[in-house]
Structure formats: C-alpha cells, structure tokens
Chains A and B, each alone.
Chain A
C-alpha cells in the first residue's frame, strides 16, 4: 500500500508531480481512523481521521471544548474509544511505550515519594532492578542537564520544578510518544517561558513523537513542527500547519516573518472556527 501510494506521486517520466517533502514519504507514526467519542449527549468525535508523522513536535490547538485533551487521552488509552481505531505503527497503545504529562502536576506526582522515586516509578513495572533504576534516572537528568535536588519531596519544590519532575517521569522509560496536556497552564508566565525552553531542549535531545495540547497559540506555534487546528465539536481537522523554523528557536524566532505568518494563519483558522 505504502509503495503504491508513493509511486503514484511520480509521473511516468520519473519526475515528481509536485514537490513532496522527504518526511512525507515516511510512514506515519500514529494513525487515527474513524474515531468516535461521545460524552453523554455531547459528540466530540464522529468519524475523525488523522496521521501523525514520526519524531515531530505536534501542537494541538482549537476552540474550547473541541476535544483537544480528549484526543490525546484517547490516544494514550486513558479514555476508551466509542468507535474507530488508533494505531502506533500498526500496534495498539498497550504495546507502545508512552509518556504522559498531566496538566495538574500537584495531583499527578506522588507526594509520599521523593522526586527521585517519582521519576523512577514507571521503571518498577518494566522489571528493572533498583541499581539500574537509579542509574537510568541519573543518566536522564545528566543528559538533559537538569539541576534540581532529586531528594526533595514534590511539595518542597516550585510548580515548575514539580512539572519538570513529571516530565522526567514520563521520559525515563524512553517513550516512543510523549503526550503533554497543557503542561504549563498552572505555572506563572516567567516559569512558563523557562519551561518552554526546557521542553524544546528535551525534545531536541529525545526526538520522540511529541503531542502537546496548548491553549496558548504563541506557545503552540513556537514549539511545534506542525500545528493541528481542530474545529468545534464534533471535531474535524480544521488545518494541519507546518512550521519548519530551525531549532533551537529563540526570542528572535518570535519576530521571524515565517513565525508571524504561521501564527497569523492559525489565528485566522481559529477565529473562523470559533465564529461558526
């Protein structure tokens, strides 16, 4: 199938019919087909299809209640599907290593454990020995250059540090896919800016397919390779916008015409959807 689709893009003369970015030839990492999800009388998804390419940073943005978080919760297996399927390289989510970062770090970390043990927690279920667990945590923290006291309890840390611990906990199993549900919305602005940089660095270092739900368009575009814009529920893809600005992105990126243009386009699509 993949091969015929690929060859179909080539004219008999052997010349490309249109320019196709090399990454488009890659098999999509996550495929969503015919997704259905209803909460009570509220149909959030009714026949939703989506392909997520591998190793990309995807921001999900859309009107309130359009099902942004629902989408990643369905993908991550936190919510049951009412219909359709979501596959990772053809496999079910239960066969894939995923990391998930919750919006509310206060309620997601275990307050009875030190930061170090919180991070190591998912390793327990991979039948990894105590020594190896410790080594993995240290290696991860070292690799990402994160400076926090891992012997503290979560309640002894700032909000940003706690969310960083949540992110490390999601990363320690070396996930193929990382989900983040509005991870910075409970932080103040200063901390949000700092955490954005941390997340960007982490993404560059890890390279896992990353999906982040964001309620901040500036953040969504700044971080993303692709911005997924959703319509009001029942949700459809309003647009799936590429943003190829090189990394690391900095404050200068925010003034870059390409950034401004993509952001303006996303805002247009968003407002069109909100007014509908």
Chain B
C-alpha cells in the first residue's frame, strides 16, 4: 500500500513532463510549428529507440561517454592533487588565484582552435578539450575545500596526537564535499566541450557529430533523438555523481 502523501510526492515531478509533452503535441497538431521542423514526440521517441537498438546513435553515445570519462579521469588526476597542494598553502593559492580564476572564466570554446593547432585533428584532441575546462573547475574547488577545512577539526586531531599524515587525511576528507562540487561542474563543462568538439573537429563519431550530421541531412527526427540522448547522458552523469556522493560523502551538507 502506498500512502496518499507518498503517491502525491511521486506523481508531482511527472506533472511537468506531462505538460511538456502535451504542449509539444498540441503545437504540432494545430500547426503552430512546421511538422517538418518539429516532429511529434512519438516520432522522436521511435527514433531514439531505433537509434539506440540498431542505429548509429547508440555507438555515438558510447563514444561520447568514453571521451567524457577519459576527460574527467584526466582532469581529476591533474586537478585534485594540484588543488590540494594549492589549498594547503594559502599564500601559494593567493598568488595563483587570479590566473586560475581568469582561465576558469575564459569560455572553453574560445580556446578550441588553439587546441586544434597544438594537438591536430586527432581523436585525443576532443578529450583534451574536455579536460581543460574541467581541470580548472576541479582545481578551484579542491583548493577551496582544503582551505576551508574546519580549523577546529584539524586542531582536534592535533590535540589528540594525530600525525601529519592523519591530519592530512582529516583535511582531505573535510574537503571531499567541495571536491564533489568541482567534479560535478567539471563533468558539465567537459560534456559541453566534448560535444561541441565532436560537431566541428572533423569527427566521424560521437553524439555531437550525430546531431550535426542529422541537421545537414535534414533528418530532423534523428536530430531530436540525438539531442534527447545527449540530455539523457548529461542527466545520467549528474545523477550518478549525486548518488556516488551520497554514498561516499554521506555527511555532505549535514
């Protein structure tokens, strides 16, 4: 038996979805929008299904996932240790803060051509592009996490006789919630960068390339299907990071 309150809480988020689909249907049905430019939701969903089961969308999606994962792994390997190191010394961080903040604020897309010149039209270039923005976000957040580690907990560890290694461990655990914020931002940046790179850098695969090619072939249902899949990817990445955080950083925000 599901209680009434529980039923309401499950159904509430679906209201938006239903409204969205209804408006979409309605707009196509009364020809508010040209059906060639905007097919009905069922046509798009049918394309998503066929694209994922037998078509190219499935393999493109996998390729994009692969690139984003590599980019995030690389960004974490560079970003987290660098951030911790910078955060450990406030003066070091302050001396570099402007540079990091400046490049963090620079739109990643502005440096794409530069990456192209340096690394060539290689498959790896797309990963590096995804790494770039994510690394800066991760450095920034890890450093802040370490710098804002509660002084009291460090003092408490010290007064109880903790060694330097144990104190470092306290600081690292303390900074984990903030590190996860960096990771989440990093994943978003990296996903955007990889997809844009896939569109324009002479790609043969990837969900970005799928969207771009569909438009050029004027295969609108496939384009919508590809966009929808990239949405699922983004949402899925965010959700899985949230779940990982809740599992391993269970104390975050509490």
Q: Give residues in A with beta carbon < 8 Å to B.
A: 76-78, 98, 100, 102, 104, 107-108, 110-112, 121-122, 124-126, 153-155, 169, 173
Contacts and interface: CB of A to CB of B under 8 A. Distances in A.
Given A153-B251, A155-B251, A155-B254, A108 B156 contact: yes
B153 A108 contact: yes
A111 B170 CA distance: 10
A115 to B, nearest CB: 13
Contacts of B156: 100, 102, 108
B155 interface: yes
29 contacts: A76-B159, A100-B156, A100-B159, A102-B152, A102-B155, A104-B152, A107-B152, A108-B152, A108-B153, A110-B170, A110-B173, A111-B251, A111-B254, A112-B173, A112-B249, A112-B250, A112-B251, A121-B157, A121-B160, A122-B160, A124-B162, A125-B162, A125-B166, A126-B161, A153-B250, A153-B251, A155-B251, A169-B160, A173-B160
Contacts of A111: 251, 254
Contacts of A173: 160
A125 B152 contact: no
B124 interface: no
A122 B152 contact: no
A125 B155 contact: no
A110 B154 CA distance: 10
A76 B157 CA distance: 13
Contacts of B162: 124-125
Contacts of B155: 78, 102
Given A100-B156, A102-B152, A104-B152, A125 B251 contact: no
A161 to B, nearest CB: 15
A120 to B, nearest CB: 11
B4 to A, nearest CB: 28
Classify chain B: how many residues form its interface, as a range: 10 to 19
Contacts of A112: 173, 249-251
A154 B153 CA distance: 13
B63 interface: no
A122 B157 CA distance: 8
A104 B158 CA distance: 16
B94 interface: no
A126 B254 CA distance: 31
A122 B162 CA distance: 8
Interface string B125-157: 000000000000000000000000010110111
B250 A122 contact: no
B163 interface: yes
Contacts of A98: 159
Nearest to B152: A107
Interface in B88-125: none
Nearest to B163: A125
B161 A125 contact: yes
